[in-house]
Chains A and B, each alone.
Chain A
Amino acid sequence: MSSRNTFNYLLLLLSFLLSGCSAMDDNILEQPGIIGTLVLGGIVLMVVCIFIVVRLNQLLSVLYTRKIQKDRETLKEEILNLEDSDVEELLLKRRAALEFRLAGNELSGEQVAEDSRGIVRQVSTEEFIPVVAEKKEPPMIKGTDPRLSRLVAAFAASAALWLLLGTGIGQYLGMKFIWPEIDNVPWLSFGRLRPVHTNMVFWGWASMAMLGLGYFVIPRTSNTRIYSLRWGWTTWWLVNISVLTGTLCLMGGINNGGGEYREYIWPVAALFAAGLFLTFLNFYKTVARRKTKDIYISNWYILAGLIWTLVLVTIGYLPFYQEGLGETIIQGYYMHQGVGMWFMTFTLGLVYYYLPTALNKPIYSYALGILAFWTQMLFYTMIGTHHFIFSPLPWWLQTVAIVFSMGMFIPVIAGTTNFLMTMRGSWDSIRVSYVIPFLLVGVIFYFVGSSQGSFQAFRFTNYVWHFTDFNVAHSHMTMYGIITFFLWGCLYFILPQLTGEKPKPVLVGIHFWFALLGLLAYMFSMMLGGTLKGLSWMEGKPFIESVVLMMPYWVWRAVGGSLMFLSHLLFAINVYTMCGRFLMKRPHRIAKSIS
């Protein structure tokens, strides 16, 4: 599809939006859900623009230096045209200047330099490179049990592998929209591979990374040692085996019935749940023997996330009420809570620890965190059925879901405010740290992605967007923009401290930009394409037209996806730099080398 066509579609959409044309009496722009989503999209663009402006500014300063050089050239020419007598005078002055020598102690005096208080953290003699600004080291966290560090690093390493594999598969699936004949192997066919992608990035990447990061936070904030390292390792094995067997089952055509994120059959899901249960016991017992009086807010989220997910998996897989549309109600509940009660809750817990720690300051408001916690539980639980608006499910259940989706603004705004207010006054860290930009993008998408989800629950927006590729944009805004960016920030912060190995800043920088720009291309193409698809259906055009019109947007999605995948390659390399050598050492050697 040529760019001209894309342009035409854009024009079409614009004229449609502005004229409130034939398909509807109401102007689409007057719909609160649409307005809200446009505003949210604008927020993302604005933040990215600010990012880009800051970076461009640095690049421009290089150009400015060039201009100065040019001025020098002109000066040189002027000098060449000078009279002999003037030249002689100047040369004499110059000789005197050149022959002047400093004694060498004008600034320092006679004393030998010494940093007796350990204030200097980093001595750099490298030249300034504008593309990758030199980053500051985060404050060091000392005194971690090296065996625990090893466990956290192992979780991070397998998470990175699952991310690479899972998004590689995702990228391949994206290409199948453009070249449906790319292969003809049953194990690689679209229908079987799609759940492989989603489940692998959910249970393999995000869950493993979360668990690993949690294993550091819980003992740290409880000021005690982890209850059982062995249970931690058992969890590591259980989850990895679960994802591996689950993947093989799905590719072999054995799935639970096609409900999203519930595709693993119950024996496979049971392995995952067993791992979670062990970790819950482990965390609970660690918190129980904490040496602090209060339970830090992170631990609220992490413990509750584990409890809620265990309940959720149990309800999701028990068969007693899942005949007929009973299954559909459970599916809405399960798929939404899987995201909300597991990934979102647990990750928020991590952010409540890693964000203030990385900024070396306390969280802005403890009370706001607690408000967000209870409202998260109350509102998130009720909104699963908003995936089935206009379906044959009871109207009251759909309405409850829509109403509580609006309620989600409370925890989301509370959380966002808390994080932004914590960052306030530390904006400089965005420039000097490679951890904070990841966390900031996570915070922005936490607000934008979650609010956009609430808007999408309106009956009108659902009318246009449901069943279209818009949903795919939403799930990538949240699982990628929020969860994945938060996890990256946390991992880049903690891993170097545990292993003593730092990644190359330039690789972290490229990772950040590829991931962010890739995500933007992905989400805006799917949002725009999805909207056009919905409008085409509303106009009653033949279905195949909506397939044809999506093609350019699918191409853009593949472009964005490629950038994202490349960034994951760099992330994997960085994780290898940070953990590879550390993990290959024998455990007792680590203990020795660190002590």
Chain B
Amino acid sequence: MLNPGKDHRALAGLSFGVFVLLSLVVAVLPATTMQESNSPLPGSSPLLEAAQRGLKVYVREGCVACHTQQVRNIEMDNVWGSRPSIPADYYYAKARMDVWRQSPSILGSERTGPDLTSIGERNPSETWHYMHLYNPRIVVPESIMPSYTWLFEVKEEAEEEDVVLNLPPSLKPAHGVVVAGNDARDLVAYLLSLKQVDLPTVERDFISSRKKRKEETQTTPLAGNSTLPDGASLFQANCAVCHQPDGRGLPGAFPPLAGSPIVTDENADTIIRIILEGYDARPEYATMQPFGDLLTDEEIAAIVNFERSHWGNNAPPVTPDDVKKLRVPANVP
């Protein structure tokens, strides 16, 4: 019997063993999963070389101390991006820098300055960024950000390819001109590369601080067709952009449908409800928009049947009535 109070081996062994076990469960395994199930978003591209160097300047100067790069799924963050951030957004930026330095912690923990997730979209002007870096108070008088003058040089005369800063008189050097150094150019290249990749089917969906009233869904009853429309083409048209034609999804962005327990469940209520009302219960994936307004009961039933009978999935079919009874009833007082 272990007696940590009297046996130092038991004490050390027990504290070590249990702690390692807990750490594996709560940190190492989730981190490994997170690393493995990740892929670049369609439409995103690796950082260009200049932006890559710019990211290193960003880390070197400790920009992460004041600037976050995460759009949380709450309402106040919708000013920083058109959708909540998902793991796949960080595919290219968060890679180990070199043998000495790990993958940069760009998500940040404090927002003393604005979030930079989509600064390249919000403010695409190069000139603005150069001025702002040289002295933030030129463009934002109330700013408390440091001036990064050491990213710039003073030259007697600008050469052809130099970026010259057009400074206000009080900040102009006695003689010569201020031009952007390599670090400044790289940093601006990085900042301008910060954009949210569009996910066309994703709606703005942020958790509000006030309780949302459930939105009413309109139903358009159709004259009953005995045969269902073509599920395969409906799936291609509406679902394959995200969940991929082979139903395997994109790790870190869109969940797979092939082999999904929700899709293949005997009881199809959950999958129908997700298609009708949308889904945002899993932050490791992008938000799914509701399709209740866009598709009829028959079309949804056809899509569900297609999903339940392809890519190795094998579950009993559903009827348009199954869909109908799950719709939020319209015109309820």
Residues of chain A whose beta carbon lies under 8 Å from any beta carbon of chain B: 23-26, 176-177, 180-181, 184, 186, 189-195, 253-260, 262, 265-267, 284, 287-288, 290, 293-295, 300, 303-304, 307-308, 311-312, 315, 317, 319-331, 333, 341, 370, 377-378, 381-382, 384-385, 387-388, 390-395, 397-398, 400, 463, 467-469, 471-472, 537-538, 540, 543-544, 547-548
Given contacts A180-B145, A258-B65, A325-B34, contact A315 B28 (CB under 8 A): yes
Closest to B29 in A: A321
Q: Is the CB of B23 within 8 A of A311?
A: yes
Closest to A542 in B: B79
Pick the residue among B105, B137, B147 that contacts A331 (CB under 8 A): B105
Q: Which residues of B contact A394 (CB under 8 A)?
A: 30, 34, 282-284
Q: Which residues of A contact B27 (CB under 8 A)?
A: 315, 329-330, 333, 384
Q: Is the CB of B87 within 8 A of A325?
A: yes
19 more A-B residue pairs beyond the given contacts A254-B101, A260-B109, with a C-beta to C-beta distance below 8 A:
A180-B143, A180-B146, A186-B150, A189-B148, A253-B61, A258-B64, A258-B65, A295-B5, A300-B11, A307-B16, A321-B32, A322-B103, A324-B90, A325-B94, A333-B27, A381-B22, A381-B23, A385-B26, A391-B70
Question: Does B140 have its Cβ within 8 Å of any Cβ on chain A?
Answer: yes
Question: Does B144 have its Cβ within 8 Å of any Cβ on chain A?
Answer: yes
Cβ < 8 Å to A, chain B residues 241-273: 252
Q: Is the CB of A395 within 8 A of B103?
A: no
Question: How many B residues face the partner with a CB closer than 8 A?
Answer: 85
Q: Is the CB of B65 within 8 A of A191?
A: yes
Cβ < 8 Å to A, chain B residues 66-96: 66, 68, 70, 72-77, 79, 84-87, 89-91, 94-96
Q: Which residues of A contact B175 (CB under 8 A)?
A: none
Q: Is the CB of A471 within 8 A of B22?
A: no
Question: How far in angstroms is the closest Cβ of chain A from B82?
Answer: 15
Question: How far in angstroms is the closest Cβ of chain A from B56?
Answer: 9
Q: Which residues of B contact A267 (CB under 8 A)?
A: 100
Given contacts A177-B144, A467-B110, A538-B76, contact A303 B15 (CB under 8 A): yes
Q: Is the CB of B11 within 8 A of A303?
A: yes
A378 vs B84: C-alpha distance when bound (angstroms): 32
A421 vs B35: C-alpha distance when bound (angstroms): 48
The segment from B162-170, B203-211, B218-226, B292-300 that touches chain A is: B203-211
10 A-B pairs (CB sep. < 8 Å) = A184-B147, A257-B59, A257-B104, A295-B11, A322-B96, A325-B87, A328-B94, A394-B30, A400-B26, A467-B108
6 cross-chain pairs, A with B, having the tightest CB-CB distances, nearest first: A191-B62, A258-B64, A259-B105, A390-B72, A326-B35, A326-B31
Question: How far in angstroms is the closest Cβ of chain B from A191?
Answer: 3
Q: Is the CB of A26 within 8 A of B211?
A: yes
Question: How far in angstroms is the closest Cβ of chain B from A206?
Answer: 20
Cβ < 8 Å to A, chain B residues 24-53: 26-28, 30-32, 34-35, 38
Pick the residue among B20, B87, B146 that contacts A392 (CB under 8 A): B87
Interface centre among B4, B76, B110 (most CB of A within 10 A): B76
Pick the residue among B73, B110, B114, B252 that contacts A324 (CB under 8 A): B252
Pick the residue among B19, B79, B105, B111 that contacts A258 (CB under 8 A): B105
A152 vs B4: C-alpha distance when bound (angstroms): 28
A300 vs B30: C-alpha distance when bound (angstroms): 29
Pick the residue among A284, A322, A398, A472 that contacts B102 (CB under 8 A): A322
Pick the residue among A191, A304, A382 that contacts B61 (CB under 8 A): A191
Closest to B84 in A: A392
A377 vs B11: C-alpha distance when bound (angstroms): 13
Q: Which residues of B contact A256 (CB under 8 A)?
A: 100-102
Q: Which residues of B contact A322 (CB under 8 A)?
A: 31, 35, 96, 102-103
Question: Does B6 have its Cβ within 8 Å of any Cβ on chain A?
Answer: yes
Question: How far in angstroms is the closest Cβ of chain A from B167?
Answer: 15
Q: Which residues of B contact A194 (CB under 8 A)?
A: 62, 65
Question: How far in angstroms is the closest Cβ of chain A from B198?
Answer: 17
Closest to A312 in B: B23
Question: How far in angstroms is the closest Cβ of chain B from A389?
Answer: 8
Q: Is the CB of A258 within 8 A of B210?
A: no
Closest to A260 in B: B109
Question: How far in angstroms is the closest Cβ of chain B from A547?
Answer: 6
Q: Which residues of B contact A333 (CB under 8 A)?
A: 23, 26-27
Q: Is the CB of B22 within 8 A of A176?
A: no
Q: Is the CB of B34 within 8 A of A324?
A: yes
A308 vs B142: C-alpha distance when bound (angstroms): 45
A287 vs B22: C-alpha distance when bound (angstroms): 26
Closest to A189 in B: B146
Question: Does B12 have its Cβ within 8 Å of any Cβ on chain A?
Answer: yes
Closest to A534 in B: B76
Question: Does B174 have its Cβ within 8 Å of any Cβ on chain A?
Answer: no
Question: How far in angstroms is the closest Cβ of chain B from A533?
Answer: 9
Q: Is the CB of A327 within 8 A of B15?
A: no
Q: Is the CB of B209 within 8 A of A321?
A: no
Binary A-proximity of B102-128 (CB < 8 A = 1, otherwise 0): 111111111110100000000000000
Question: How far in angstroms is the closest Cβ of chain B from A189?
Answer: 5
Q: Is the CB of B34 within 8 A of A329?
A: yes
A259 vs B112: C-alpha distance when bound (angstroms): 16
Closest to A327 in B: B103
Q: Is the CB of A315 within 8 A of B209?
A: no
Given contacts A295-B8, A307-B16, A311-B23, contact A321 B66 (CB under 8 A): no
Q: Is the CB of B22 within 8 A of A255?
A: no
Question: How far in angstroms is the closest Cβ of chain A from B162?
Answer: 21
Question: How far in angstroms is the closest Cβ of chain B from A341?
Answer: 8
Q: Is the CB of B209 within 8 A of A377?
A: no
A325 vs B150: C-alpha distance when bound (angstroms): 32
Question: Does B63 have its Cβ within 8 Å of any Cβ on chain A?
Answer: yes
Question: Does B60 have its Cβ within 8 Å of any Cβ on chain A?
Answer: yes
Closest to B8 in A: A287
Q: Which residues of A contact B18 (CB under 8 A)?
A: 377-378
Q: Which residues of A contact B110 (CB under 8 A)?
A: 467-469, 471-472
Pick the residue among B20, B60, B94 that contacts A327 (CB under 8 A): B94
Pick the residue among B62, B73, B85, B207 that contacts A255 (CB under 8 A): B62
A559 vs B197: C-alpha distance when bound (angstroms): 45
Q: Which residues of B contact A390 (CB under 8 A)?
A: 72-74, 77, 207, 283
Closest to A191 in B: B62
Q: Is the CB of B95 within 8 A of A284?
A: no
Closest to A378 in B: B22
Q: Is the CB of A303 within 8 A of B96?
A: no
A468 vs B91: C-alpha distance when bound (angstroms): 27
Q: Is the CB of B62 within 8 A of A467?
A: no
Binary A-proximity of B130-156 (CB < 8 A = 1, otherwise 0): 000000110010111111111000000
Closest to A472 in B: B110
Binary A-proximity of B275-289 (CB < 8 A = 1, otherwise 0): 000000111100000
Q: Which residues of B contact A254 (CB under 8 A)?
A: 60, 100-101
Question: How far in angstroms is the closest Cβ of chain A from B68?
Answer: 6
Q: Is the CB of A265 within 8 A of B101?
A: yes
A295 vs B94: C-alpha distance when bound (angstroms): 46
Q: Is the CB of B105 within 8 A of A547?
A: no
Given contacts A294-B6, A392-B86, A537-B76, contact A23 B209 (CB under 8 A): yes
Q: Is the CB of B12 within 8 A of A307?
A: yes
Question: How far in angstroms is the closest Cβ of chain B from A521?
Answer: 20
Pick the residue among A260, A319, A382, A397 that contacts B96 (CB under 8 A): A319
Question: How far in angstroms is the closest Cβ of chain A from B299?
Answer: 30
Question: Does B326 have its Cβ within 8 Å of any Cβ on chain A?
Answer: no
Given contacts A23-B209, A295-B8, A391-B72, contact A192 B61 (CB under 8 A): yes
Pick the residue among B32, B76, B79, B142 that contacts A326 (CB under 8 A): B32
Q: Which residues of B contact A25 (CB under 8 A)?
A: 210-211
Question: How far in angstroms is the closest Cβ of chain A from B273?
Answer: 18
Q: Is the CB of A467 within 8 A of B143?
A: no
Q: Which residues of A contact B22 (CB under 8 A)?
A: 377-378, 381-382
Question: How far in angstroms is the closest Cβ of chain A from B103?
Answer: 4
Question: How far in angstroms is the closest Cβ of chain B from A525?
Answer: 15
A385 vs B34: C-alpha distance when bound (angstroms): 14
A324 vs B314: C-alpha distance when bound (angstroms): 34
Q: Which residues of A contact B158 (CB under 8 A)?
A: none
